[in-house]
């Protein structure tokens, strides 16, 4: 599957395209199929996202899993500061990245 991701322009937060808007949570990300580039251009033009790009991912029961480690780290947060990730209560969250 293909996902569209980028950063929120005013805050810099990592965001994922849900099919109708942007979410901070990878679990909300939708498969953009072949539309990624077109959505990216439109959303960037409207300044709803900064630096959007399309990535490969695989579906799983827990939600999409980005193919590249960089995007998995983006989705979670820094592996060396579990307290600052999106799952601060889950000490093993970092294992998902690797």
Partner 1 sequence: MYRYDEYDQGIVDARVDEFRDQVARRLSGQLTEDQFKPLRLMNGLYLQLHAYMLRVAVPYGTLDSRQMRMLGHIARKYDRGYGHFTTRQNIQYNWIKLLDAPDILAELATVEMHAIQTSGNCIRNISSDQFAGAAADEVTDPRPWAELIRQWSTFHPEFSYLPRKFKIAVIAADEDRAAMRLHDIGIQLVSRDGQVGARIFVGGGMGRTPMIAPEIRDFVPADDLMSYLEACLRVYNRYGRRDNIYKARIKILLHEIGADEYRRQVEEEFALVKQLGIDPPATELERISAMFAPPPFDANASAEVDRSDPDFAVWLDQNTRAHKQPGYAIVTISLKPVGGIPGDASADQIDVMADLAQRYSADELRVTHAQNIVLPHVRIADLAAVWQTLTEAGLAEANLDLISDIIACPGLDYCSLANARSIPVAQKIATRFASPERQRDLGELKLKISGCINACGHHHAGHIGILGVDRKGTENFQLLLGGSGAEDVSLGKITGPGFSEDGVVDAIERVTDRYLAVRTEGERFLDTYRRVGMEPFKEAIYG
Of positions 38, 81, 87, 91, contacts partner 1 by CB under 8 A: 81
Of positions 84, 88, 90, 91, contacts partner 1 by CB under 8 A: 84
**Residue 9 touches partner 1, criterion: CB under 8 A:** yes
Residues near 68 by beta carbon (within 8 Å), at least 6 away in sequence: 55, 56
**Residue 50 touches partner 1, criterion: CB under 8 A:** yes
Helix (H) or strand (E) holding 66: strand 65-66
Of positions 1, 30, 73, 93, contacts partner 1 by CB under 8 A: 73
- Pairwise CA distance, residues 31 & 80, whole Å: 29
Of positions 1, 35, 79, 96, contacts partner 1 by CB under 8 A: 79
- Burial of residue 34 (CB within 10 Å: 0-12, 13-18, 19+) is exposed
Residues that bind partner 1 in the complex, under the rule CB under 8 A: 7, 9-14, 44, 47, 50-51, 67-70, 73-74, 77-81, 84
């Amino acid at each position: 599957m293909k996902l569209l991701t980028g950063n929120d322009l005013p805050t810099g937060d990592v965001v994922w395209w849900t099919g109708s808007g942007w979410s901070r949570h990878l679990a909300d990300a939708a498969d953009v199929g072949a539309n990624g580039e077109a959505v990216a251009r439109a959303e960037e033009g409207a300044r709803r996202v900064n630096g959007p790009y399309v990535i490969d991912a695989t579906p799983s029961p827990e939600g999409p899993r980005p193919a590249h480690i960089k995007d998995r780290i983006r989705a979670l947060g820094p592996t060396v500061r579990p307290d600052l990730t999106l799952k601060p209560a889950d000490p093993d969250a970092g294992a998902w990245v690797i």
